Structure 1
């Protein structure tokens, strides 16, 4: 159950912040299911924080990290080098967009 919800549009697209009384690990499990099973789930970027503001990652659930749409590198790799994965794979971006 959501205690607080805020949705707005940023330069990166729509963003939502939802506060719930549910346990963070359980929320993370539901979010991973959404990322893996919804038709558009592959393009979702869902972060889950616990009560202390510490991010609960896939590794806490013993789930492998998400991969780039195009290559086998971890999606986090591109975040860490502060480059969007699509910028690295310029020629392949149009093909991906047509598939999505």
Structure 2
């Protein structure tokens, strides 16, 4: 797949996910959680992605009492939506703790939304931004500075996934 085609399929998948989310709100549930993957490189599905997602879902279900709302897969990989009676800020903190439990948690993306569909972010909870998979610096700074090659990031991700 060409880089333009890949970019277009990823953008279309993001749009479809947003449309799906938009249809869920407002909701009587205090929080909705989207579990997805934060994998570097073009390959967002396959055995490594499936293994990581299954591990992340197991960890999420053991950490939080959630009700499944939707699951699927697209150009960004597998994802699932859950609802919970816990408050959104509490769920976000628990989600970040889950991400910190194991290096593979760094490859999970747990987005939390309140009853109205407003996303709860790290910044509003005064929590540091996500760290780089390779060096531990803020991930966005490494992305913007292009400090690490895609190949280096993909290899690190696969090594981390193989350890779960």
TM norm. shorter chain > 0.5? yes
5+ residue gaps, structure 1: none
Displacement of 1:27: 0.6
TM-score by length of 2: 0.47
Number of residue-to-residue matches in the alignment:
93
Show the counterpart of 1:89: 149
Show the counterpart of 2:125: 61
Q: Map of 1:62-81 to 2, 5 A cutoff?
A: 62-70=126-134, 72-75=137-140, 78=143
Deviation >6 Å, runs of 4+? none
Deviation string for 1:66-92 (max 9, x for gaps)?
Answer: 0222353434885xx8xxx8xx62342
Q: Answer 1 or 2: higher relative contact order, Cα 8 Å, separation at least 6.
A: 2
Name the larger-Rg structure. Answer: 2
TM-score by length of 1: 0.72
Looking at structure 2, the residues matched to 11 and 54 of structure 1 have their Cα atoms a distance apart, in angstroms, of 24
RMSD: 2.7
